[in-house]
Amino acid sequence: MRHATLGHAWKTATVAIAIALGLAGSANAQSTLKVGANIGNVPWEFQDAQGKSVGFEIDLVNEVAKRNGMTAEIVNIPFQGLFAAVQSGQIDAAVSSITITKKRLESVAFAQPYYDSDQSLTVTKASGVKNVAGLAGKVIGVDTGSTGDMWATQNQATTKVKEIRRYEGLNPAMLDLAAGRIDGYVSDIPALLYYIKDKPQFAVVERIKTTEQYSVMTAKNSPFLPKINDAITAMKKDGSLAAIHKKWFGTDPDVGMATATVLEIPKL
């Protein structure tokens, strides 16, 4: 009988410990927002000199987590792996300048957009070029096979651009722009705003609309989606998202852009 009582007591204690551990794990899960990101994606998420993850989207998710009484845990995952990771529950959300598309909405969900990733025209201030209309007879650079390349090719007759030169990345194109070998450079606006913020000889003189928008990705029907979305709404309303934009790109977001405008959760 004594053995039975001891056995019962042992089982009761074991169950109690298991419940306690389970509750602790649950509390820990609720206090941490696990966010996947492809670290190395400047200026969205990358490592600083101390090895700390920094960037526009790192600041964004840290603030989103904070407003929900949580702490963001950043998990470094290659870009293509982010989709399976949110679907499987390995992570609660993902960022990495992820464009919202109808195709992606079939299998994952997104909070409201927080960035319009259009193309842009960058020139030297000394060139006198003020906008796309000033490119007639000029030579411009683009990234090979990029959205900017497609735009420039499709609109060459309209813009009357004399020549399109193709580059493998931003740095060689900007070197040629600085040297006067090209008159303008068409590429992703966030990359250019970040690149020139401490280089006053350059200017982004026009945003070229391509309708791409970035947001935080989650699994479909994720309980985190409305929490993330509400936090982004609050950040837009109180100006803290605009402050993150200014920190990383050196300018306020343009009026009417997703960074400063409360929008709906994307739907199919």
Q: Are residues 78 and 147 in the same domain?
A: no
Considering only CA atoms, give the Rg of the chain: 24
Number of domains in the chain: 2
What is the extent of the structural domain holding 254?
31-116+213-260
Backbone angles phi, psi at 238, to 5 degrees: -95, 0
What sections of the chain are H helices per DSSP?
A: 2-31, 56-67, 81-88, 102-105, 147-154, 156-159, 170-179, 189-196, 224-238, 240-249
Cα maximum dimension of the chain: 100
The SS3 assignment for 197 reads coil
Domain annotation covers residue 24: no
217 and 255 both lie in a single domain: yes
Q: 3-class DSSP state for residue 149?
A: helix
Shared domain for 173 and 111, answered yes or no, is no
In which band, very low, low, confident or very high, does the pLDDT at 18 lie, cut at 50, 70 and 90? very low
Q: Specify the CATH number for the domain of residue 254.
A: 3.40.190.10
Q: What is the pLDDT, as a whole number, of residue 12?
A: 44
pLDDT of residue 146: 86
For residue 137, tell me if it sits in a domain.
Answer: yes
Amino acid at 17: I
pLDDT (0 to 100) of residue 147? 85
The Cβ-side half-sphere exposure at 54, using a 13 Å CA radius, reads 10
| 87 occurs within a structural domain | yes
Q: Which residues pair with 217 in a beta bridge?
A: 94, 110
pTM for the structure as a whole: 0.77
Name the domain boundary from 208, 228, 249: 208
pLDDT grade, residue 46 (50/70/90)? very high
Give domain status of residue 253, yes or no: yes
Burial-class residue 126 by CB neighbours within 10 Å (0-12, 13-18, 19+): exposed
pLDDT over 50 at 24, yes or no = no
Match 């060139």 to its residue by tokens.
127
pLDDT for 236: 98
The pLDDT of residue 42 is 87
